[in-house]
A and B are shown apart, each in its own frame.
Chain A
Amino acid sequence: MKTSIIRVFLLFIALYSAGIMAQNVDRPLRVGLYNNYPKIYRDKNNEAKGVFPAILKEIADAEGWQIEYRFGTWDECLGMLERGEIDIMPDVAASEQRRKLYDFHQKPVLTSWGCIYTKKKPEINSVPDLQGKTVAVLKGSILTDGEDGIYNLVKRYDVDCNFVEADDYKGVFDLVRSGEADAGVVNRFFGTAFDDEYGLQLNNFIFYPTSLGFAFPKGADYNTVLSVKIDLYLDLWHSNMDSVYYRILTEHNLYPKKKMPLWVGPLIAGLTGLIILFIILALLLRWQVSRKTRLLLQANAKLNEEIDEHHVTMELLEKSRELYRSFAENIPGLVFMYDKDSKGRRQSLIKGNREEEFLGSEVGKRTVDDVNNFFDYVDSEDIKIIEEQSQKAEAGNGILDVEYRVNIDKNKTKWFRSIGRVTPLANGNHRWQGVILDVDDRKKLERQLELHRKYLEELVDSRTQDLQLQTEELEKANRNLKEADKLKSIFLASMSHELRTPLNSIIGFTGILLMGMVGELTDEQRKQLEIIKKSSNHLLALINEILDISKIEANKAELSLEKIEIKDAVQESISLLANRASEKKNKLDYVCEEKFTVYSDRRRISQIVINIAGNAIKFTDKGGVTVAVKKINDKYFELSVLDTGCGVKDEDMQKLFEPFQQIDSSLTKKHEGTGLGLHLSQKIVALLGGSIRVESEYGNGTSFFVKLPIKTEVKIEKSSGD
């Protein structure tokens, strides 16, 4: 002890003098971690455990180092060490080979050696026994490919066997247990810790004893300080059997605490046997007692359960009663339940206390006395309905829903509704249960609603009748009006005829006289006869136009449809106007570039041309009138009349086609005419299935465009009567 303290002291001095002790570790140390129980491993919480981490922790705590573990397989960790990614690699055997690759400290942490395990009885006693076997080994382990490792051993003895490499010792044991390998090579620590678990046997052959300790990357900065400090502590601990080092070993089952004397074993065995005997006896007795007790407890528990159940049942019953009472008292109706026998007598099954509240004091009391009494108060009409419905329910689906009146007292009747269900009983009676609801308010409202509805219906009916009457009257008036209109037209048509007949003779005789057939005329006589002739012709034109219009309006106008060369037909009509135009020194042009045939009424078209073009000539003083005909499309052609006359004001456009409306009354004298020409033309155009359009700018002439069908459809024609 003393010597070691002195040694340590001397070492301190030596180190300080070398300046090494002054050097400190100023960053966390990265330490390799891999699974090699019990020396080093990672537990469930991912913490580093085992002999090496424990020792390192003691040193680190004392020195104030921070440790960070880097986990990997043995191989991976060695790789990290080589690359300098970790500062310390625990549990490395310092072989000659490895000393070239890594730096090591001096003092061993543990001493290890290789062991061979087999599944069955031990059979490997020396290297030659491995001949022809399959051997599982740890990849990269010094026990595998170290100087005195199994590979070299086999080679040295010239033994031929197969090797299977596993990533860790557990893998090695797995291979042996599964039979994939005949034998497995592990270190002594792992072997002792896991042989029972894997059911493997240790063989009488060990090899390659090695010192295990910490390795450092070759030439790394901290190597000196780390190796010196580690050696310092190990040296200190090795010499003291109570030190942390031995405690750690003991904790990991690597160092027996105390050695027992030889006699202790049998003594302990004997004592243990006695104790076990006592325990068995005690247990037997206790079992007997507890069995009886258990039976008693069971019986007791059952009794208690029954008592509890009874309590629960009572509680439930009470609860149910309470619920029922609450239900019956709070339901907005009167609950009933009675049995009805074959004679119709009813026996109530419940005793209510709300009858008076519901049915009034008299009916209520009497109903409580005897449920049959209730029915005496039901309206005599309604009781029949109840009886009828009840019989139906008893015979049918068992459900009753009926509304009825109850005479509460002399002056008061109330509406109730009974909803009930009837079920037949074994004794032939019927059990009725249900609820009586007060529907008086609703019924009254319904009645009011019904009255109102009826009132509304009546109102609607009377309004409808009024409307019908009005409609009929209107229809009648309309019919009368149409009839009158037609009569007017017929009247005008026949009147025109009657007017025309005498006019014929006036015109005829005037003609004879003017011809000089009767004798020579004086100038004055001739002048006056000319006036008669002119007036008569004007009158005739008027009559003829009125006749035309009347006929069209009376639907009596007839069309005389034929194929017409429209170019020639219009030319013909225009030639009749040539005199009038030249009298006013107006140009009268006619343009029709295409010859085509239309199916229409020649005389009606002529009427249109003469009326419109004649009109244009009449209202044009300077310039001229151009009549043009052209095809619009396959169905229509257009007849247009353009003049350079006085034009029409916008506000007068509407009046244009009205009868006897010459726009400017001051013009009346200047422009003579029947005043019916355009009106008639419009009617004729419509009759032919066409339309008429006017464009005009006041003072700048007027254009009429008449669109007419190329083939006029024959309308329903009525027989004419002239």
Chain B
Amino acid sequence: MKRVLVIEDNDANLYLISYILMSNGIDVISCKEGLPGVETALVEQPDLIVMDIQLPDINGLEATQRIRNDERGKDLVIVALTSYAMTGDREKALAAGCTGYMEKPINPEKFIGEINSYLEIEKNY
């Protein structure tokens, strides 16, 4: 069973993402802040991390950098959640070490497809 770490501070979004993932038979662990998220990621070694950009303590980009700076976080698959209108967020996300990005707002159908494809990447490692 695949395990996905969702780092998202907004309850409604966290619930939405978790619901979609779990409905598709994916195990979900979650964090609502950056620093605990980094710690969880390093310790739990999830198959995929869904990282929101705006978080209360440190933002998603910094959190990603911290994970990548740790030996344990080098190979983790991290997907950033970016907003449509925010030019540069995608580039910044990739520069910070994210494997890819997904667009908010979430279109459930498209979302699950993308999640599955990222999990496939992980398989190939």
Contacts and interface: CB of A to CB of B under 8 A. Distances in A.
* Top 4 A-B residue pairs of the complex, sorted by shortest distance between their CB atoms: A505-B12, A504-B105, A511-B108, A507-B105
A560 B87 contact: yes
Interface in B83-125: 83-89, 91, 104-109
B83 A500 contact: yes
Given A512-B19, A517-B23, A720 B88 contact: yes
Most chain B C-beta atoms within 10 Å of own C-beta, residue among A503, A512, A548, A557: A512
A456 B50 CA distance: 77
Interface string A493-513: 000110011111101110110
Contacts of A558: 87-88
Interface in A417-459: none
Contacts of A557: 87
Given A508-B13, A512-B19, A722-B53, A601 B107 contact: no
A388 to B, nearest CB: 82
Interface in A603-622: 603-604
B104 A601 contact: no
A511 B15 CA distance: 14
Most chain A C-beta atoms within 10 Å of own C-beta, residue among B17, B85, B91, B108: B85
B10 interface: yes
Given A505-B13, A505-B16, A511 B87 contact: no
A720 B89 CA distance: 9
A517 B87 CA distance: 32
B10 A722 contact: no
A512 B12 CA distance: 13
Range class of the A interface residue count: 20 to 34
A265 to B, nearest CB: 155
Contacts of B107: 507-508, 511
A547 B84 CA distance: 11
Contact of A503 (B15, B23, B105): B105
B85 A544 contact: yes
Nearest to B110: A511
A220 interface: no
Interface of A: 496-497, 500-505, 507-509, 511-512, 515, 517, 540, 544, 547-548, 557-560, 601, 603-604, 720, 722
B16 to A, nearest CB: 4
Range class of the B interface residue count: 20 to 34
Describe A's contact surface by its main secondary structure. Answer: helix
A497 B85 CA distance: 10
Contacts, number: 76
A380 B16 CA distance: 104
A503 to B, nearest CB: 6
Contacts of A548: 85
Nearest to A509: B16
A518 to B, nearest CB: 8
B20 A512 contact: yes
Contacts of B19: 512, 517
A496 to B, nearest CB: 8
A507 B106 contact: yes
B1 to A, nearest CB: 19
Given A547-B85, A560-B87, A601-B87, 10 more contacts: A508-B13, A508-B17, A508-B20, A509-B16, A517-B108, A544-B84, A720-B86, A720-B87, A720-B88, A722-B54
9 contacts: A500-B105, A501-B13, A504-B105, A508-B106, A512-B23, A515-B109, A544-B84, A547-B85, A557-B87
A503 B10 CA distance: 12
Contacts of B91: 560
Most chain A C-beta atoms within 10 Å of own C-beta, residue among B17, B54, B91, B105: B105
A722 B109 contact: no
B84 to A, nearest CB: 6
Nearest to B53: A722
B85 A505 contact: no
B87 A504 contact: no
A511 B83 CA distance: 18
A558 B86 CA distance: 9
